[in-house]
Structure 1
């Protein structure tokens, strides 16, 4: 039996505006604070993305539900921080992850940021997260999950692509991916939970 999977909409490119100061960015951000759009900033470049609607929200919410189920059952003391605004004028960056998590008490920023990619191009998201010292970043795109973990110290920080999570230890990524792309949300959660309980 072949499982139906979530439909992927046509990818759109974000709008990019170069040569902006932090102050100009903050002024534009106040003017464009509208549902359905997300603004990011890196090194003087403002990115405006139109959010892609239901397929994006379905994947985003599904990843969150599955991951939180795993974290709960695996005994993590976690805090979901959703699309918390992550910004720093000092390093000239602003980004809202699609989902994010603090995986232990007392954290200022999340340990894990998750991006659900339905757009192409734009600012370098890993560079933004590196400057904010986010330990691990997951990108879901077209049914594929890519994971990156932060390595090094100081000016030698860099992300390295990894095949299994170092922050969410023990999670079965193949199972997670299979459940993310299932059409029925309840079936996806039940399938994931059943495997975790065995």
Structure 2
């Protein structure tokens, strides 16, 4: 049996493989299923194998926890998918979102996905999501959040979510503190429950 050696947890590594067929991609999904730290992103013959860093995992977790608590406070029915690979052979696209959710009812595809981008390069994940038909994608990049809404066949950057229309994502981003998650969530909830929602820098 082959032994896969992981890099240190604080390093994020990716390998880009061109000329990969859909059948090879599906075979790799099966073969690498025993290695949960690996993420595979496929777009029209190009395969990215990503090994997320500890920072990547902490960021996705705190953003997910904040969003879930927001949905609870606002009484928005939110269904988490967990670690699920979504793929569409006809569109030659597939990936496992960092986090993803359905709103109101559980569906075959998520309504809302979260992605962490800590470095440039790699497969264009928005192009993958576009082909899959995921309505909204929230991306953390360069210490800020950007929200993309699928309008027709293209994503457009927006500040208002169709699923969380009252959520101020600029305010939300100020509580993305992966090293102090309990304090960040507590402070976020205090702001949500206050009549004038502004962050308390001293919290």
After TM superposition, the score normalised by the length of structure 2 is 0.84
User: What is the root-mean-square deviation of aligned Cα atoms in Å?
Assistant: 1.9
1:185 to 178, 181, 186: 181
* 1:189 counterpart SS class: helix
The match for 1:90 is 90
1:161 to 127, 144, 157: 157
The match for 1:3 is none
Matches within 5 A, 1:3-152: 12=12, 14-33=14-33, 34-53=35-54, 55-152=55-152
For 2:32 and 2:174, how far apart are their aligned partners in 1?
A: 37
For 2:107 and 2:179, how far apart are their aligned partners in 1?
A: 35
* 2:157 counterpart SS class: strand
Gaps in structure 2 of 5+ consecutive residues: 1-8, 195-203
For 2:107 and 2:31, how far apart are their aligned partners in 1?
A: 31
Gaps in structure 1 of 5+ consecutive residues: 1-8
The match for 1:173 is 169
**Kindly tell me: are residues 21 and 41 of structure 1, through their superposed partners in 2, closer, same or farther at Cα, counting changes over 3 Å?**
same
- List structure 1 runs of 4+ shifted beyond 3 angstroms: 9-13
For 2:189 and 2:63, how far apart are their aligned partners in 1?
A: 13
